Amino acid sequence: MEKMRAILKEKPGRGALLVEIPIPTELAPREVLVKVKRASICGSDLHIYQWNEWARERIKPPQVMGHEFTGEVVAVGSDVQLVEIGDVVVAETHIPCMKCYQCRTGKMHVCKDMKILGVDTDGAFADYIKVPESVLWKVDPSIPAEFASVMEPLGNAIHTATVAKLTGKSVLITGIGPIGAMAVAVTKAAGSAPVIAAEIKPYRIEMARRIGADYVINPLEEDLVERVLEITNGNGVDVFLEMSGNPSALHQGIEATTNGGTVSVLGVYNGKVELDINTIVFKALTVYGITGREMFKTWHVATQMLKYKQVDLSAVVTHVLDMEEWEKGMELMERGVCGKVVLKIND
């Protein structure tokens, strides 16, 4: 049996291993084998590596890690219709069941019986990955592979931002990790102004500047609400995107949102967060909870934005490492001194 390289979470506990395992050759009628070109490391991959509480409950080793990738179709099952050998593809990581109420009514991204690539199945930190055709999305080969490999988190940014009208609107984004930084690029491309970023970590403050935020506020040094009101002539922002998972960012952001504005929450919080619903009522705010990406509306938008260079992700994709250097990537992420780390799996 032919072998391939794979970064394997081989047992519970901290760490993972670069090993050789058999290439998956058995394809079900609607499965596809993709040769992985680039794969990017997600926060959840770091959690699996570190073996935090979530990973301990969710992951069943041994399992190949990774879920954000781009590659080329090299083999297809007998009944595959959406892609062909040679296609350049990316993949939605939420695998919908295609049977439940949500899947049948155009809301596959909130499937009741969803599986997650690289969490419930073998992932993309390998020379080859086997996926159902239903998650694949063809991309224009002109899009740099490094950028294609981060289209999944870019999709999070697009989904979170585009539930609101953006053109000419003032936007506050709290939490400038890679997705927050991508949201800066997306809202700027959509014509939002001003785009205000709030972040406390020095590396990320710099990233917010480089990606083009009009203002960057460090809430540890300045009063976030006061500063936002000052910038917006006392009105507050039209659109607030919460991406930090920090309760005080959520509270301050809501305070800094103008009456009738939109609040879109992608951040995930440790435990319950108290919220003054009366504020939402009396300010007449529209609040969206965001999970995943719309399939495949968000992916289409991401493709167009990258193909026509509406967003430039070079300030976000800060490191491209050889697959062998994967552990260095985990270290960079642990130390918080990177944006997106992309692994070069194959040329």
What x/- string results for residues 56 through 95 when contact with Zn ion is judged by CB under 5 A? ----------------------------------------
**What's the min distance (Å) between Cβ of 312 and Zn ion?**
21
Q: Considering the rule CB under 5 A, would residue 111 count as an interface residue with Zn ion? A: yes
What x/- string results for residues 165 through 204 when contact with Zn ion is judged by CB under 5 A? ----------------------------------------
**What's the min distance (Å) between Cβ of 73 and Zn ion?**
21
**What's the min distance (Å) between Cβ of 126 and Zn ion?**
16
Q: Considering the rule CB under 5 A, would residue 280 count as an interface residue with Zn ion? A: no
Stretch that binds Zn ion, among 12-20, 25-33, 103-111, 316-324 (CB under 5 A): 103-111
**String of DSSP letters for 237-285:** EEEEEE-S--HHHHHHHHHTEEEEEEEEE----SS-----HHHHHHTT-
**What's the min distance (Å) between Cβ of 282 and Zn ion?**
37
Report how far apart, in Å, the C-alpha atoms of 287 and of each of 146, 170, 260, 263, 283 are.
33, 16, 10, 5, 11
Q: Considering the rule CB under 5 A, would residue 100 count as an interface residue with Zn ion? A: yes
> How much of the chain is helix, strand and coil, in % rounded to 5?
30, 25, 40
Measured CA to CA, the distance from residue 226 to residue 243 in angstroms comes to 20
Q: Considering the rule CB under 5 A, would residue 103 count as an interface residue with Zn ion? A: yes
- Contact between 46 and 340 under an 8 Å Cβ cutoff? The reply is no
Tell me the number of residues near Zn ion by CB under 5 A: 7
**What's the min distance (Å) between Cβ of 96 and Zn ion?**
5
Measured CA to CA, the distance from residue 144 to residue 134 in angstroms comes to 23
Q: Considering the rule CB under 5 A, would residue 97 count as an interface residue with Zn ion? A: yes
Interface of this chain with Zn ion, residues 308 to 347, rule: CB under 5 A: none
Angle at 117 between CA 31 and CA 150, to 5 degrees: 105
Q: Considering the rule CB under 5 A, would residue 116 count as an interface residue with Zn ion? A: no
Q: Considering the rule CB under 5 A, would residue 110 count as an interface residue with Zn ion? A: no
Beta bridge partners of 22: 3
Stretch that binds Zn ion, among 102-110, 143-151, 215-223, 231-239 (CB under 5 A): 102-110
Report how far apart, in Å, the C-alpha atoms of 85 and of each of 2, 75, 197, 314 are.
19, 6, 42, 29
Length of the chain: 347
Interface of this chain with Zn ion, residues 35 to 54, rule: CB under 5 A: 42
**What's the min distance (Å) between Cβ of 292 and Zn ion?**
10
Residue number, 32 or 111, with CB nearest to Zn ion? 111
CA max distance for the chain: 67
Beta bridge partners of 4: 21
**What's the min distance (Å) between Cβ of 264 and Zn ion?**
18
Residues forming contacts to Zn ion in the complex (CB under 5 A) are 42, 96-97, 100, 103, 111, 113
